[in-house]
Structure formats: C-alpha cells, structure tokens
Structure 1
C-alpha cells in the first residue's frame, strides 16, 4: 500500500491569478486592478466632477498598455492608454482639472455592468492631448501611484529648497521685460539682483504654437482661472514649472454658490481637490481630482507630479466646479476653493500624495491702493502659499490684482510703492519705488526678485512670513530724460568741490537745470577721473563692476545684506559714481579693508586664500529728484594734489 498525502485542489471558475502588485503594501486586489490584468478592448468608466461637487461617470475603453512613460524621466514606468467614447468627452476632449480622475475597469464577463458601478481602479486620468480628433487619454497605473505613497516621509519633515529656482524665476522675468521692451528705470532692481546672483541671460518666452499640445508626453495641467488674458499670459511662464496652467475667465476663480454647505463636502475618489495659492479677497487656486484614498488615509492625487520634488508642503482644499469650459485648444474646469482640509506632503512623477487634517501655514499679504478714481483707500487681505517657487510669484500677483481690480492705471501715470517684507529668522526688507508708466505689471519687478533671491538659497530654509504693500497711482508721468551735463571747472584740486549743471527734460515740460555738488576727498590721488551720472541702474551697475566681492555669498546673512543693499537704492534720485582706479583695495570675503597700508595689502594678496580679492574704490553721491531720471551721462575731470595753504 502506498502512503502519501492527498492534495485536494478546488478550482474557482473566475479565480484571479496572483500578480506582482499583490505584494505591494496598500494594493488591494479587491479594489485595484494590476497592470498584468489589463488588456485591450476592456471597458469601464472614469469618475470626475463636471459641475458642483458630485462625481459623474464617463465611459472608457482600453487601447493599449505601454511599457514606458514616453517623454518622462522615469525609466521602467508604464502607462495605460484609453479612449473616452462618450459624447461629453468627445466634445470637450481631455479636460484640465480631470488629472487624477480614477479609471475603473470591469472584469471580463461583466456584460451587465452599469456605468458608474462596480469595476476596479486601474489608475488615474493623467495624460491628454490638445487638438486631437478623438479623446485619447494616458492613465497612470495605480501600482505606481501606491509606490509613490509608500515613499512619503513624516508630514512634519522640514522641507528645504535650494537649487536654481530663484535664478530661473529671474531669467523668466528678464525675458518678459525684454519681450515688452521695458526701459531700465522699470526693471533696474531685477537686473541688479540677477547680475549679483549670476543670471547671465533671459529664458526665452516662447508663445504656444498650434502643435504644442501634441507632444508625446503631455501631463494634464491643473487649471487656475484668472480674470484677464493678459494676466494668464504673464503667469503661465512661471506656472509651467508647476504643472499648473492659467486660463482667462471673466471674474477669475469664483467662490462656490451660497447654497453649498461646505461642511458636507468631503474628499472622495473622483471628487475635486483645490490647491489654494492665493485666498482671501481673491481665490487663485489650481484644481485636480482625487484618485483614491488608501487605508492609511493617504490621498492619491493627479497621476503626475507638480514639481517632482519629493517631500513638499502645500495646502489642499475641497472644491466646487461651476462648469467645464469647452475650447478647441484645451477645455478646463472653472472652479473655486471651499475649505482647506489638509496638505500635500509628497510629490513624484507618478502621483502627488496628500493627507487630511494636516495644516500648513500660509503667508498674510496686505495691499493698500490709492487711486485717483477711488474716493477712499482700498485695502485687500490675502493669504498666499508658502513655497519658494510660488510665493514670489503669488505675492507679486496679489499686488498686480489689487491695483487692476477695476481698471488698469490711467494712460499717464506713476506708481509710488512702499513695500515691507518679513522673513523667517527676523529678517526684513524695505524699499520705496517710483515707477513712471509702470503699467499693470510694474510691481511684479519690484516684489518677485527679492523674495525669490532669499527663498532659494543654499544655506537654510527662508520663508516669507508677512508682506505689506502700499501703492499710490498718480495721474502724471514723473520721468525726466537726461539731456546734458556741464561743469564749471574740469581741473580741480583734491579737497575741492566739483559743481555740475545737470539739464533734464521732464515729461511734456521744458528742460530744467539742477546744480549738484560733488566733494572730492583731500587724499584723492591725482589723475583723470570719469564721473558717471544716472539713475539707480547706473549706480548699481558701476558698483557691482568695481566691487565684485559683493556677489560672494557665504551664508544667508550675506545674501540678506546683499539684497538690502539693492533694496535701499531709490528710483527718484540722481547718482554720481567715480572709480578711483589708482587705489586698489583688498576685501576678505565681503568685508572691505579700504586704505590698507600697501605692505599689508601685498601680504594679503599673496596668500592662497580664495576669500581674498581686490576691488576698486569709488566715490559716490546721491541727489534727491522730483522724478525718475532716464539715461546717463559722463563727465571728465582732472585732479591734482592740493596746493599748500598759507
């Protein structure tokens, strides 16, 4: 008699074979469908909000499964391609704001399945095409999204930002200034900070072409509504890095109707999620969709990255959709924020991960405007997102929006602007600006560069904690062109005073002559000198060239000091600068050692320290003016040793 074990095999007719995804923590085979199970022609539905707060189904059918996410820096990633055959999706095409919409497929044999019922999640609506003849969509597989969630750190992890983000922002701003042919007197502060931070050229601002949306990889943007096409065009070069796209919409983003009970709106698969970038007297928020909520409580969002930066901290909120705006180029959801409920904490190629009941602080911004048409001053209160890339842009945009709420500045105008910025670590920046013909975007060039320079540093996290802006619009152009400069005496002794007559032509007025006096030190070496006169752009350019060590940044305090130096320069002033070429001094780091004995200077210059450098000393003077000086001039003088006095 043979002995042994009897193995009883029970075969279920619809048994599902095990897949690699089953071993992934968070993957639930009863709720999620693995890539290995997906085949062409399988059918199902997606869920997304098209109006209000309730998700609605739309039909889908599988086209194919690609082994790599073409065009993304993510080797080994896969994408599922589907078609949306329903009338609604055929009319609108892929809609900005649908990113993250969960896609469900029915198992084979489910002939009686109803749209919006049953099925398992295969992933998120993530990639779409503009100007296509059919509605084809790329789906981010749910396994890859769950893997991203598994790498999330503690939500309270301190997130630091360095890199070249600040330089990138300034490069875009320089390109916009060049594209609009803005004069130096409007962009001098941007130019000075860009020069000190090593931004050598402007990033090209290329207008969208008809075929741009037909790239191999086109992650669906998260839409944000702004109230003019000009504002959308201005913002989009900055938002392009974030996965957010601005669309012009009358009234911009709008709050939900008063009959919506915000307390009853919850995050759910297929439900909307808002990304508040500005809240308060303006709602500027991107919007996307929740793909799934894991047993851990983690929310899987979008099916693609925002910045692809790993740990992150940005608020999320419930969201109301007013309607979908169907357009030929890119349909988008018009939506508004309801209530902040949590924060995004992790950002990868495959998904953004968020958690509820975790709040991140936002930065208060107060903007006060004084306009000729207003009988009283108007004060706007906002909160902006705390993120090194978005904060500079949103802070500046809050000022722009406040000034243009009812109308643009009049044809002839000057904007007088006072700004106070408070940063973490007790650091502050103050500056006054006078911007003749500053237009609607003039304040941007004053606010954005300083914030971005501090926010993106390689030493420690620095956060904008408070911003106060006071703007007065005056109905006159406070600008004067420099016409001519003459001197009463071009040969002087050291210790004497140079008297110069500066002729300027104020806008639409007869020329005016200002007399200025430039004192020459008694110890000024004899020789020929060139004195350059002009506005703050001329002053800063001359000093940066003569004192390159000012750009040597060794810690965040050095950086703050450098920005303060630029901030203190004034638009409504005439500057005179003369380099003392015969007097070369030594600087150790950023510390200047003027008039150092030659023997000691020689010792320092022969050291091997890279912190030691030479610079050219200069004379400088500032003269108050009732307008901004456009242009520059130079005068030549000869200086001799002072004669002995009896």
Structure 2
C-alpha cells in the first residue's frame, strides 16, 4: 500500500462553520465508538471559488493508535467530483458527517492511488488539542471595544535552540555557523524540526508524510528554488499559485465556514507565501482545521485568512489546490498533533520589511522597491527575510555579472537602539553572494535564537546599491618596510593586492602598535573587516549580545590585528585586558559558567580601504625594543 500523505494544505488556521451555520451553535458530533465499516456519509470542501460543496464517502475501517493515543478513520469515495483528482493536498481539514453529525476531518491520503482513499482525524481529538493551555494572554488593541484583540507572542528561545546553531554562546561562532560570508546561508539557518515520520497503515517501508501546499507568488525562479530547498525537510511543499485574492469584491469571504478554505500567511505583500487548507469546525471565535499539524510546534502565532480557490490541479502523484489568501480575519494559536487552531478574535503582529534597490551601469540608473510583511517566528523570520532580499536582488540582477554592492541595513528591536550596518561586497554569481554578506540579515538568526530574553523585531529596512563594476582587490602579501614594528607609533604596512583583471597593486595600510608590546614577537593579521575575528566578549545577556553585533565590521575597511602572547579575561560580558598571570588564574572559572572566560587580547587598527577587500594574510613579526 502506498505511503500515507497528509493532504494538509496550509500553514494556517482553518476554522469555520458550514455555509448556513456561521452564527449557529457548534456542529453536533458523531462519536468515534459508533463508527463502523460500510457506513456512508458526506464531506464538505471547496472545489473552486469560496463556496463549499458536498461529496459522498464510505467508511473503510478504524485504525487504532495510528499516531500516539490517536486513531484515524479510513474512508473512500466514489463521488464523481473526486474521481479525476482523488483526495488532494489542501483538502486537509474538510469535515465529514455521518447522520448529519460531524465525525472527523479529512487529513491523510495516499500518493499514486487508483481510488480516492484516505484517512480522517476524529473531531474529538481535534477539540481536545484546540483547548490546550495558552501561555500568551491577548491585550485589547487600541480602538473601539469589540475590535479584535492583539496578542504579542513571547518568542523566547532556549539554550537548545541556540545549540542548533552552535554549541557555545559565542557571537563569532554563531555567525560562522551560517557559512562563508559571500554565500547564501538560507539552508544553514535552523528551521522548525521536521515532523517525525510514522509507519504506514500496512506496515510497509513507505512512511506517512505531511504535505502542505505553500502557495507562492512574486518569487523569481532562483528564489523559489531556495524556498523549495529551505522547506525540503518539512511538510511544506511550495507551489506556484499567485496572489491578489478573489476576482471581485463579492467573492471575498469575511468569515470562516466549515468546508471553506483557510490560509496561514508566512509572508505577504509584494511577495507572498501562504499555506492553504480547509476549516473543520467552528465554535464562536475558535476555529479548528487541517486534522494534522503544520510543524507541531505547539502555541504558534501567524495571521490566518480566508481563501479564494482558483482550482484543484490533478496529478498522478498527488493533486493540490491552487488558492490565494484574501482576507485576514484571525490568528493561528495552536499547532498540535491532531489539528491547528485559530482565533478570529485575535490578531498577531507581523514584521514589516522594506527593501529599496538602486542599480547603476554607466549613466543608466534604475530604482525600485519591495514591501512585505513577515510572520514573527524565531525560526522562520530570518530565512524568510533573506529569501525576500534575494528575490528583490534577483529581479534587478538576473545575470551573473560582476557587481559591487553597498547595503545599508537596519533592524529595529523594541526597547533597544536599532542595529545598523553598512556592508560593501563584490559578487560575480548573482544575488546569493550579496544576500549572504548582509550583516543586518545574518544577525537575525542568533538574535531571534538568543537564550537570554525574548525579542520583538519591529521593522527591517534594507537599501541596496548595485553597481556593475569590479572594484575589489584580493590580498596576496604583507610587507613591513622597516623589517620590524615600532612600538608606541603608527606604522605603515605595504599590502600587495591582485585586482579583478589580474593586475597587482600596493596599498599603504596603517597599524597602531601599543608601547606595551615592545620587545615582543606578535602575530600580525591583515584582512577585510568582515573577515576579521570579532573583538567582543562572549555575551551574558541580551544587551551584551547586541553590543557584540555592533562590533562587526564591513568589507570596505582594513582590519589590522596584533595578537600578543598575553592572556586576558572576559568577565560578565566585558573584556579585561593586560592582566598579570596571577590575576588571570584567580578569575579563571572553576566550573562551567560564562561569567569569566579566558580571552586572548588583541590590538586592532581599523582604516578605510579604497575598494572592497577580499582575503587575508598573516605573519610573525618582531616589535622593536623600547628606547
């Protein structure tokens, strides 16, 4: 038998009441204990537009303990409406009735199936998961009483979340874990853990998988490919679906109904990504949908919207629905094993992302902008922001030509001064290299996974200036004219560089040598600012983490670093340099704590470069004795 596939269609919260019951009492339910082989009934789902339609089904069997402490009902359908497509992705959550009573929500199907056969989740499990305890209490939004309340998720992360990035609480290690600076890091950032695979009904080697159509619009082919890879280990399956909603105001639903479609919006605006599925049950403001999880991440918040269904796309492997989110009317609250739950009386904030692009080629200048809003989620927000910037750059930089880029980025965090960067980089392989170098994006990953305190990102802004030129140089060799460094003075180094056309050039680079290094042999390192080792203590709280971010350097400066043999200590997030050995021994931690840590002190000189700098070079050098 084929492996079961969750035809879940959506990252969102689907809840509704059947067409004529929007304001009626909750649907009466049929007990699982009475379900038997051969019983018949009808289901409700949306084949096109916004109006749910009936289809007939027959009970095949009840499979006990299909998931931990959860049974499912196997059903089949010979209804002509599903003969061409079978059960499809996005149909998950469709309510099924026996004797006009709600028994379950369609949730699983088989790939490559010759008949419409699948499984549905009993409503009693879904109602139980929908009543799970909420940690976040909503607050009344500004405006008139009766308006939707706002919920601000406490998006705190744990040490376990941080360790998915790097084992140590170290900013440099966290940034390095995302990969080289000039490469896309979208596939390196942690995402929600994939759903565990479960055994198929007949015990074959094939396993049940979740398959949630993620309706994508406004993304170029390279960016779409990145999204496919990003969600490759998850239940989300990106599909081209288009945005813009329903054709005509009369087709825009303003409430959830049972059997109607629902969408969870990850990103919306000039680009969009929304998971589409079906509403199973509506009880006042509470809506249940899917009949299975999206990520099974428990209490989770995201905007949920009604959907206009364009059509169902038949497929021999697995059909799927093509739909567009049209009207936000609630917030996702729970993402549990048997269902997702939404609340139409809540709204959850999104993160505005503003991207402006300027391209210059000779005298030709072109400008453009993109504005999107993102789901606020510690795992998804950084990667979705990176995908949005990559997509914007791809639009203006479709060819893989030499380009020098300047990117001004600003991350506004509630209760803190904004984190701002100006990055300079060279790329000859398209948008991935440019996006991968933007520090304002890279810091989002450790910032939102930090184990110290919750953060609320209020806005992300990026201004990109692309110039079709190759103004960069790669470091080849360091030369010290005097043969040694003079202590207590500014020395000048000669740095040999190779340009893009193979020519060698020499730049004078300054280095300040502390008088305390007289008579020592030190390691001299010359590199670009964005390749230099971070000169900051390991963070111990959110302020020290953000302070470390602000010490990250751009790629158009020289970073000349002297590494002496002495040791220092990082104490409570601050660097204590030039300590005697006895003091270092006293402060060295005797247990596993971040309060005091050994630290190698450095002396660093930062100087402006005439071009984007690539590469690095090191050498041992003597510092002249004091006179």
TM-score class, shorter-chain normalisation, is 0.7 to 0.9
Quote how far apart the aligned CAs of 1:67 are.
1.1
- 1:408 corresponds to which residue? 398
Check conservation: 2:303, 2:332, Cα contact below 8 A.
Answer: yes
- 2:376 maps to what in 1? 386
In structure 2, C-alpha distance between the alignment counterparts of 1:167 and 1:230, rounded to whole Å: 30
Task: Map Cα deviations across residues 216-256 of structure 1 (whole Å, 9 max, x no partner).
Answer: 22223142224444333312444467643212x2xx52212
Give, in whole Å, the separation in 1 of the partners of 2:163 and 2:318. Answer: 30
The answer to which of 127-136 and 480-489 deviates more is: 127-136
| One of 560, 567, 579 as aligned partner of 2:546 | 560
CA change 1:417–1:36 in 2 (3 A) is same
SS in 1 for 2:210: coil
Render the CA deviation track for 1:16-44: whole Å, top value 9, x for unaligned. xxxxxxxxxxxx99732221121223233
- Counterpart-to-counterpart distance in 2, 1:268 and 1:318: 9
In the alignment, is residue 246 of structure 1 matched against residue 238 of structure 2? yes
In 2, are the aligned partners of 1:481 and 1:506 still within 8 Å (CA)?
yes
Q: What residue number does 2:64 align with?
A: 67
Structure 1 residue 343 and structure 2 residue 331: aligned? yes
Name the CA distance, whole Å, in 2 between partners of 1:601 and 1:360: 49
CA distance in 1, matches of 2:482, 2:185: 34
Secondary structure of the equivalent of 2:371? strand
Give the alignment partner of residue 186 of structure 1, picking from 171, 182, 188: 182
Out of 96, 101, 114, the position equivalent to 2:89 is: 96
Q: Choose which of 260, 276, 288 in structure 1 pairs with 2:277.
A: 288
**Unpaired runs of at least 5, structure 2:** 1-24, 139-150, 168-174, 195-203
Structure 1: distance between partners of 2:396 and 2:606: 38
- Say if 2:222 is the partner of 1:230: yes
Q: Which residue of 1 aligns with 2:261?
A: 272
3-state secondary structure, aligned to 1:454: helix
Kept in 1, the 8 Å contact 2:303–2:330? The answer is yes
Report the counterpart of residue 170 of structure 2 in structure 1.
none
Among 510, 514, 527, the alignment partner of 2:520 is 527
SS of the residue corresponding to residue 91 of structure 1 reads coil
- Judge conservation of contact 1:575–1:621 (CA < 8 Å) in 2: yes
Answering whether residue 493 of structure 2 is matched by residue 500 of structure 1, we say yes
Distance in 1, Cα, partners of 2:399 & 2:162 = 29
Larger-Rg structure: 1
Q: Distance in 2 between matches of 1:273 and 1:609?
A: 49
Deviations 1:451-478 (A, max 9, x none): 2322223333211101111112211233
By how many angstroms is 1:272 displaced? 0.9
Kept in 1: contact 2:184–2:435 (CA 8 A): no
Q: TM-score, normalised on structure 1?
A: 0.78
CA–CA distance in structure 1, aligned partners of residues 425 and 313 of structure 2: 37
Question: 1 CA distance for matches of 2:258 and 2:391?
Answer: 34
The residue matched to 1:387 in structure 2 has which SS?
coil
Give, in angstroms, the shift of residue 127 of structure 1: 2.1
Q: Which residue of 2 aligns with 1:162?
A: 157
Cα distance in 2 for residues equivalent to 1:406 and 1:188: 17
Pair 1:136 & 2:117 matched: yes
From the superposition, tell whether residues 145 and 571 of structure 1 become closer, same or farther in structure 2 (CA, over 3 Å). same
Q: What does residue 52 of structure 1 align with?
A: 49
Q: Which structure's residues are more often helix, by fraction? A: 1
Q: Are 2:618 and 1:621 equivalent residues in the alignment?
A: no
**Deviation at residue 135 of structure 1 after TM alignment:** 3.5
- C-alpha displacement of 1:140: 1.3
Higher strand share: 2
| Whole-Å separation in 1 of the counterparts to 2:207 and 2:163 | 28
Partners of 1:129 and 1:415 in 2: CA distance: 48
Cα distance in 2, alignment partners of residues 464 and 641 from structure 1: 52
| 1:585 aligned partner | 568
Aligned partner of residue 516 in structure 2, secondary structure = coil
- 2:620 is matched with 636
Task: Work out whether residues 186 and 230 of structure 2, in 8 Å CA contact, stay in contact via their aligned partners in 1.
Answer: no
Give 1:575's aligned residue: 559
| SS across alignment from 1:640 | coil
* TM-superposition CA deviations, 1:543-580 (whole Å, max 9, x none): 57xx7xx33x32222222222223xx111223222211
Equivalent in the alignment of 1:428: 418
RMSD in angstroms over aligned alpha carbons? 3.5
Moved more, 325-334 or 372-381: 372-381
The 1-side partners of 2:110 and 2:47 are apart by 19
Give the TM-score normalised by the residue count of structure 2: 0.81
The Cα of 1:53 is off from its aligned counterpart by: 0.9
| Shift in CA distance, 264/336, structure 1 to aligned 2, threshold 3 Å | closer
> Could you say if the C-alpha distance between residues 140 and 413 of structure 1 is closer, same or farther in structure 2, counting changes exceeding 3 Å?
same
- Give CA-to-partner distance per residue, 1:568-597, whole Å, 9 cap, x none: x1112232222111x212331221222335
> Contact (CA 8 Å) 2:212, 2:294: kept in 1 or not?
no
- How many residues are paired up? 564
Within 2, Cα distance between the matches of 1:471 and 1:360?
29
Distance 1:188 1:637 in 2: 36
Residue of structure 2 aligned with 1:449, choices 442, 445, 448: 442
Instruction: Say whether the 8 Å CA contact 1:305–1:350 is kept in structure 2.
Output: yes
CA shift at 1:400, angstroms? 2.4
Aligned equivalents of 2:205, 2:31: Cα separation in 1: 28
Compared CA separation, residues 30 and 578, structure 1 to 2 (3 A):
closer
Specify the alignment match of 1:216 in structure 2. 207
User: Residues 325 and 368 of structure 1: is their aligned pair in 2 closer, same or farther, counting only changes over 3 Å?
Assistant: same
Match of 1:302 in 2: 290
